[in-house]
Amino acid sequence: MTDHAPEPTPAIELRGIVKRFPGVVANDGVNLTVLPGTIHAIVGENGSGKSTLMKTLYGAHRPDEGDIVLGGETVSFKSPRDAIARGIGMVFQHFMLADNLTVWENIVLGHEPGSAALLNRREARRSLRELGFRYGLRIDPEEYVSELGVGDKQRVEILKVLYRGARIVILDEPTAVLVPQEVNELFTSLRKLTTEGVTIIFISHKLDEVLAVADAITVIREGRTVGEVRPGDVTARDLAQMMVGRELPRPVPRTDRPSEEVALMLDDVSVAGVSDKAALDHVSIRVHKGEVVGVAGVEGNGQTELLDAIMGLRPLLSGSIELTHHRLDSMSTRERRDAGIGYIPEDRQKDGVVLAAPLWENVMLGHQDSKPFSVRGFVDRIAARNQTRRIITDYDVRTPSTDVAAIALSGGNQQKLIVGREMTAGPAVLIAAHPTRGVDVGAQAAIWDYIRSARTNGLAVLLISADLEELLALSDTLLVMLRGCVVATLDPVKVTIGELGAYMTGAASGGEAA
């Protein structure tokens, strides 16, 4: 776009959008202007109202006040059906696919009436392949969604929206679950879409990505628009400060050393895979007291199986697992937790919280039979609420009360609640999968600090993350997993992002820097 050309009519204009929930004003007069054929990013802290604003644009919420203007025309949506009819598509923060259906069934069914869809089966699959090819969203229509990694699922969600003819595509944190290589592929696809006139709204907490891909960025704070900036005019730090309204803490390098004492030991562990692609293949890992061992890898290279093996969710084919010299192999998941393992799961909505239950019940989850929540077999609700209040304060969970259902929390705030619950239970070993996934930069810094100070006090941490910056910031030792094996042991201080990427994709081998 040149400076002198007249501005085109915006594809989307949101004017003074207000959306209230009980006890919360999620959007408090938000303005947003998006030009056609651009990638427009929205950034803001957890709970600042990004998802709510997008659900309003998508017709999933009715705004209490304000106007939605599309291509110069004010519209009023009663449901997503109306928004879809106007060419709006949305990919939600949490996947909405049916695991037991194939890719093409997920995309086509629910769009066309059943019988017509079945008749057009062949045609549907053909046009899906073509669509995928055109935008670099490679996908096998015949594959079952349960077999797909997160990167593939993301592509399916986007294809689903495009298949329905969307000209405005809303992506709510599409990169939170992706590793850098997948992010690059996604961005290439998005660029391609914009050259064909598709308008994209992109939400992310990864500010470097936002700066790399967006044409314009709108910053929101506490439900209000703070401003709109161009990526060339600001740094990631500037953006963070606009979002948060204050300075971010800077990390301090580690001065103490981990102990010699082994807290968690996996010896020659093998398990069968979710699909035969990614079993765990004779893996040995040691995590010492006071040490953070990071695990890098492209999703689907055995990380899920590793977590399942440690938590007792999948039987071992070989090897053993010990927690401070006690064999875990025959213990249930509950017994492992009671023995001192804290667990931040990969999929927070599936394994981390009960969405319908209030926060205080969620805080007891996995700990309901032990102190302080259980007194002679009775649940101590006062203790549970007090503990919840502590977590809300310490982990900055934005919520009106301890009694709202977990589903009413924003995605990042659900994550903060889980991290807070696991950390405050005082585990000996923390198994942390993507602990800051979907969490804003300020909260991420705070969680990193909590993990650092806990490990200084002796906590052993096994950290699995798609975020290389997080792995480098926290790990004392860095492992790389590829096809179910640990293929490299690296020193996070010496390794570069480029080298790490090469090990993760198998382009390099045999790292032994640590």
Ligand X SMILES: Nc1ncnc2c1ncn2[C@@H]1O[C@H](COP(=O)(O)OP(=O)(O)OP(=O)(O)O)[C@@H](O)[C@H]1O
Antiparallel, parallel or unpaired: β 429-433 and 485-490: unpaired
CA-to-CA dists, residue 345 to 146, 285, 308, 462, angstroms: 18, 19, 10, 12
Of these, 221, 398, 448, 469, which contacts ligand X (CB under 6 A)?
Answer: 398
In the region spanning residues 382 to 421, those forming contacts with Mg ion, defined by CB under 5 A, are 410-411
Count of residues of this chain found to bind ligand X when the rule CB under 6 A is applied: 22
Q: Which of residues 89, 411, 420, 484 is near ligand X by CB under 6 A?
A: 411
From the list 27, 38, 48, 51, which residue makes contact with Mg ion (rule: CB under 5 A)?
51
CB closer to ligand X out of 410 and 465 = 410
Options 49, 149, 294, 435; binder of ligand X; rule CB under 6 A: 49
Any idea which residue has 């949490």 for tokens? 94
Concatenate the DSSP letters of all residues of 51-71 into one string.
HHHHHHHTTSS--SEEEEEET
Under a CB-based contact definition with an 8 Å cutoff, are residues 188 and 136 in contact? yes
CA distance 340 to 291: 16
Can residue 389 be called a binding residue for ligand X (CB under 6 A)?
Answer: no
Q: By beta-carbon distance, which residue lies closest to ligand X?
A: 412
Which CB, 51 or 388, lies closer to Mg ion?
A: 51
C-beta closer to Mg ion: residue 285 or 408: 408
Residues whose CB falls within 8 Å of the CB of residue 384, separated by 6 or more in sequence, listed in order: 360, 361, 363, 364, 373
CA nearest to 348, candidates 278, 413, 275, 292: 413
Sole binder of ligand X in the list 51, 56, 199, 402 (CB under 6 A): 51
Stretch touching ligand X by CB under 6 A, among 98-106, 377-385, 404-412, 467-475: 404-412
DSSP bridge partners of 285: 266
Using CA atoms, how far apart are residues 431 and 346, in angstroms rounded to an integer? 10
CA dist 120 → 104, 105, 123, 136, 298 (Å): 11, 11, 5, 24, 35
**46 touching ligand X, by CB under 6 A:** yes
* Dihedral angle over CA of 88, 216, 156, 133, nearest 10: 100
- Does 444 interact with ligand X (rule: CB under 6 A)? no
Considering beta carbons, is residue 415 or 475 the nearer one to Mg ion?
Answer: 415
Contact window for ligand X (CB under 6 A) among 31-39, 44-52, 141-149, 182-190: 44-52
Give, for 305, the enclosing helix (H) or strand (E).
Answer: helix 303-311
- 352 is a site residue for ligand X (CB under 6 A): no
**Nearest-angstrom CA–CA distance, 421 and 362:** 8
Of the candidates 220, 204, 292, the residue with the CA atom closest to the CA atom of residue 256: 292
- For residues 241 to 260, the per-residue mask of contacts with ligand X, x marking binding by CB under 6 A and - elsewhere, is --------------------
CB-nearer residue toward ligand X: 24 or 279:
24
| 321 φ/ψ angles, rounded to the nearest 5 degrees | -130, 130
> 38 or 410, CB closer to ligand X?
410
Partner that binds at residue 465, options Mg ion, ligand X, none, CB closer than 5 to 8 Å by kind: none
Binding segment (CB under 6 A) for ligand X, from list 83-91, 408-416, 468-476, 502-510: 408-416
Cβ closest to ligand X, residue 303 vs residue 413: 413
Residues that bind Mg ion (CB under 5 A): 51, 93, 410-411
Residues that bind ligand X (CB under 6 A): 21, 24, 26, 44, 46-52, 93, 398-399, 408-413, 438, 440
